[in-house]
Every structure is written in structure tokens, then in C-alpha cells.
Amino acid sequence: MDTNHYADTAYYSGRIPNQADAHKQPWLQKLAQMRLPWGRAKVNIAPMSLFGDDMSPNIIRLKEQFKQQLTEQNKQLQQQPVVDLAAIAHNQINNDINHQHFIYRPAPRVIRFGLFLWGMGKVGTPLFVGVLIFTYLLVLTVKPFTETNMAFGIVAVLIIVPLLLLWLIGYLIAFKLPEGSARNRRPKWELNRQTGMVTAYTKRDSFSAPFYEWDAYINVIPTNTGTMIGKLYLAHRYQPQVIDLSILAPMGSTTQQLYAAWDFIQTYMDTMQALPDIPLLEEFRTLDPRTVEMDAVTQRQPNYWLNMSDDEWKKQQTFMQSCITHIDTEQRPNLMANYVNYGQ
């Protein structure tokens, strides 16, 4: 294995240093009181936010085809790349994840505004057209044909045309702005596998610390049905720094989804382990030395996900959901307690 690929500070779960005592800090009191245990993470488990249909092998194949076509077009036209639909669906704009780092960049406000307009137009236009046709046919039974045509023609112009304009304007804003307007957006946080560092960003500065100094917390809220939902955070043990990981497990996720997200993060950062085996990371597996080493041992097929059929993908999704449902996080000991005194 090429050990020079990883920095001396890279996280290695078999080599964690002893650390200073950790007591309940004031900035953690507003978070829910559930700190998740370190260690014994399920390898290759991931929250469904990283295993949904927008991350399927078919989408990856389409994205690769689109990227190749776009590259050729840009070479011929010598134009700056534009944001493509497949990239947004794959979080390549807002979330830069590869074998080295996982960076979360919120979409610029203008992009979010464009997506909002695009969504309104895309959903509203066919919905209103369907309602209009149904109402038109209903009214024809009691109104003269000519009078009905005129009334519905006016309604169509006053409502459908604006909806179509929203659809077009939103599309142009969200998907045709220069790529740099989204890529250059300042990140919110970064998990760096290569260096083992976690960085939290603000508008003006940043704070970095080794991964093993960040504990995972869940803010748990009971619903009216009795289901427990919550948000996942990383909180630094010694400094007032908190990272919101809702991008991995959105608000409203079950606690099992949050546990899966924490397992995914631990595996992703651990250079003792291969990269999590999910479609989104398959193209980077040959670039990570530990992953190359372990894939050779297991004789993993290089294009395991890329060559997968839609039916097999559905089975894998069902299997992943089952693994998440039966995750044993609550029964695990906190192995970090061997290196940190958490106190009471």
C-alpha cells in the first residue's frame, strides 16, 4: 500500500491517541443528550440519502455519458462548462465527495431560487393543464361551446403562460449558470480522509481538528405517532464548534438513518478500512491505496455498481434498508472511552 498517500494525521481506528478529559460543554447542552458510540461501524452501510434512486447505477451511467459529451462539446466550442442536470442530481455541485474529501457546499441562493421556480413550473404546469381539461369537459355539458372556449382560453393564457415562464426561467437559472458560481461557493464543512482532519467553516474563518476529537450527537424529537426523528451533528469535544450533518440524514429521518450516517462517516474517514462501497464512490476506489489493497484481497469487480441492472439495484436498496432498520448502534460500547475520560 502507498502509505505516502495519507498524511501522518490521517485517522486510523487501530491507532487512536489518548486525549484530554471531556466534560459536558455548554455549547452541547442545546443539542440532544444522545452521544453516539465510536467503533464497530458496519462496513458499507450508508444512509438512504446516499443510496436513493438519484444515486443509482443508471444515473451514474447517464452522468458519465453526459460528462463525456459535455467535455467534447466544450473542447470543440472552447466554452466554459455549464452545470448539468446529472451533476446536480448526483450532488457533484453542492457536495464534493471523492477518495480524498467530502465537502458540503450549500447551493448559492440564486441556484436555490432557480430550483424553486423550476419546480413550481414543472409541477404546476401539467397539474393545472390536467385540472383545466377536466373542468373544460365538465363545463361543456352546461355551457355553449363558443362561450366555454373563450373563458378557458383566457384562463389558460393568464395562468399557463406564467407557469411556463417560471419553468423556463428557473431552468436557465438553476442549470445554465456558469459552473464556477456554484463550485466557488464557500463550504460549510469538510471531512478529509487523506489528512484525517474535520473542518468547520464560517463566513470569515475556519476551524480544523482531528476526526477523533469530534463526537456525533443526535437531537431527538418524538412525533405524534411516537416515532423518534432527529438531526445528526458532529461536535468538537473541546471547542465550541458544531457541524450540522442534515445533508446526510435530513431532518425527519429515523434514528436508524442517523446511525447509518454515523457509521458511513466513520468508515469513510478510517484509513484502516476501504472506502464505503456505494455507487457514488466507485469511480474513486482505484485512487485510494487502502481500498485498492482490500479490493484485491476480496477480488471485487471494478465496475460492480456500474454494471448492475435496475432489478438488482432495487434488491440492493431493499437490503440496505433492512441493514439500516436492524443497525445495532444502541447496543455498542463507546470504544473512544478507552482514550478519553468523558466523565459523568
**Cα distance between residue 82 and residue 176, in whole Å:** 6
pLDDT surpasses 60 at 257? yes
Q: Are 24 and 235 in contact (CB under 8 A)?
A: no
pLDDT surpasses 60 at 56? yes
Q: Which of 341, 11, 35 is nearest to 216 (CA)?
A: 35
Q: Which amino acid is at 198?
A: V
The better pLDDT of the pair 98, 181 is held by 98
Q: What is the pTM of this model?
A: 0.75
SS3 12: coil
Q: What's the mean per-residue pLDDT of the chain? A: 82
Q: Dihedral of CA 222/223/226/232: which sign?
A: negative
- Helices 145-155, 109-139: axis angle to 10 degrees equals 170
168-207: per-residue pLDDT in tens?
887 776 666 654 444 456 789 999 999 999 999 988 899 9
